[in-house]
Amino acid sequence: MKERLEELRREALERLQGATDPGQLNELRVQYLGKKGQLTEVLRGMGSLSAEERPVIGQVANEVRAAIEAVIAEKQEAFDRAETARRLQEETIDVTLPGKRPTAGTIHPLTKVTQEIEDIFLGMGYSIAEGPEVETDFYNFEALNLPKNHPARDMQDSFYLTEDILLRTHTSPVQVRTMRAAGGKTPLKVICPGKVYRRDDDDATHSFMFHQIEGLVVGPNIRMSDLKGTLLQFVQALYGPQTQIRLRPSFFPFTEPSAEVDVTCAQCGGHGCRMCKHTGWIEILGCGMVHPRVLEYGGYDPKEVSGFAFGMGVERIALLKYEIDDIRHFYNNDLRFLGQFARM
């Protein structure tokens, strides 16, 4: 009987090794190990064995079963691996075909620049103030030290709606409105972004509607050196820590002293290039110490407090930043233009 078992093992192992697919393997498993399989059949004959022989043969039979099962498992695993490999091969795709992008729109470049500047000043402790775009002559001019028939009004040709109401020519009226709303409190630190309107013929560098950001600080001891410090901090946040500023004396009716501010050209780092017309400097801001009359109109006593103000054109900063050649692109809403501002 032992011989039959050994014979069975030899035969089974040989045939199992020769199995070529999982079906065949299964057939062989049934043939040898199944309920009616050959091994089962042999073991059924164990009843006729003596009590001494039975454990010996039983052990041999178990070894044979284990050996067959081991080979089946090994073969099965090999077949599974092959099957997986085949499936993976079959499922291979062209990873270079385009992906399914979620449809994404873009934020307008002027908004991007405005928010960037807002964020810098928010971080410096400024609030954002807003005011009406349709303004009274009083807030737009008079309260900014620009009385009627003052020659400085020529600097800003305006769109009037009535004799006394106009589209604001700058965001500066928000200064006075903010001061009045503050009711004499200090410190006051705000920036005022918004649309402004001037009677300009539209061309590559002019637009009758454009955007400004105004800044205003009022406090008990605000100095011109603070203005310089603030502007330096701002431009370094906007253009990088190597950026420098240069102030040139200028004139605005609502500030005294007044200055135009140049920054070192971000393109060439101040060495001179086409962008900065080979001067190394680019003008981006107007600023000054708030004129005493404006403080008075705002409800402050210029003997008690002082302040500084600055203003910049958002379009100008965006034109420079993105190297855009025509300001009118900002208002055409051409998707081929807007689509270029997808980056963070």
Partner 1 sequence: MNVSYRWLNEYIDLSGIEPAQLAALMTRGGIEIDSVPSRNLGVSRVVVGLVKTREKHPDADKLSVCTVDAGTGEELQIVCGAPNVAAGLKVPVALVGAKLPGGVQIKRAKLRGVESQGMLCSARELGINDKLLPKEQQEGLYILPPDTEIGRDILDVLALDDSVLELDLTPNRSDCLSMIGVAYEASALTGRPLRLPEPAKELYASEDKTADHIRVSIRDKELCSHYSVRYIKGVKIGPSPLWMQNRLIAAGIRPISNVVDITNYVMLEYGQPLHAFDAAKIAGGRIEVRLAREGETLVTLDGQERKLEPHMLLIADAEKPIGLAGVMGGLNSEVTNDTVDIVLESARFDGGTIRRTSRQLGLRSEASSRFEKEVDPGRVRDALDRAAGLMGKYAGGTVAEGIVEEVVSEAKLAVVSIALERINRFLGTSLSSLEVKTIWSRLGFEAVGTAEGVWEVTVPTRRGDIVRDVDLIEEVARLHGYDEIPTTPIEGPTTTGFLTKPQAIRRELRSLLAGSGLSEAISYSVTSTGSVRLFPDLNGETEGHKPIPLAMPMSEERSVLRTALLPSLLEAVAYNRSRKTGDVALFEIANVYHSKEAALTGLPREIPRLAFVLHGNRTASAWNRAAEKADFYDAKGILDAVFERLGVSGRIAYEAAQPEHFHPGRTAALKLDTENGTETIGYVGQLHPDLQREFDLGDTYAAEISLPQLYEYADASIVYRALPRYPAAERDIAVVVDRGVEAAALVAAIREAAGELLESARVFDVYTGERLGADKKSVALALVYRNAERTLTDEEVTAAHDRVLEKLEQSFGAELRK
Alpha helices, DSSP H only, in 92-186? Answer: 109-123, 137-140, 173-182
- Contact call for residue 236 and partner 1 (CB under 8 A): no
Among 159, 180, 184, 324, binds partner 1 (CB under 8 A): 159
Among 95, 249, 274, 344, binds partner 1 (CB under 8 A): 249
**d(Cα 248, Cα 226) in Å, to the nearest integer?**
16
> Given the complex with partner 1, which of 72 and 167 has the nearer CB atom?
167
Contact between residue 116 and residue 239 where contact means Cβ atoms under 8 Å apart = no
Cis peptide leading into 257, omega within 30 of 0? yes
Residue of 177, 63, 110 whose CA lies nearest to 324: 110
Residues 262-301 that bind partner 1 (CB under 8 A): 289, 291-292
- Contact call for residue 327 and partner 1 (CB under 8 A): no
Among 121, 234, 297, 310, binds partner 1 (CB under 8 A): 121
- Contact call for residue 240 and partner 1 (CB under 8 A): no
Among 14, 50, 103, 183, binds partner 1 (CB under 8 A): 103
- Contact call for residue 123 and partner 1 (CB under 8 A): yes
- Contact call for residue 187 and partner 1 (CB under 8 A): yes
Residue of 62, 74, 61, 96 whose CA lies nearest to 22: 74
Residues 189-228 that bind partner 1 (CB under 8 A): 189, 195, 197, 199, 201, 208-209, 217, 219-226, 228
> Given the complex with partner 1, which of 66 and 107 has the nearer CB atom?
107
Residues 22-81 that bind partner 1 (CB under 8 A): none
Contact between residue 214 and residue 171 where contact means Cβ atoms under 8 Å apart = yes
Backbone phi, then psi, for 269, in 5-degree steps? 70, 20
Among 10, 81, 86, 150, binds partner 1 (CB under 8 A): 150
Edge to edge, the sheet with strand 281-290 lists 127-128, 188-197, 209-219, 306-313, 281-290, 255-264, 245-252
- Contact call for residue 239 and partner 1 (CB under 8 A): no
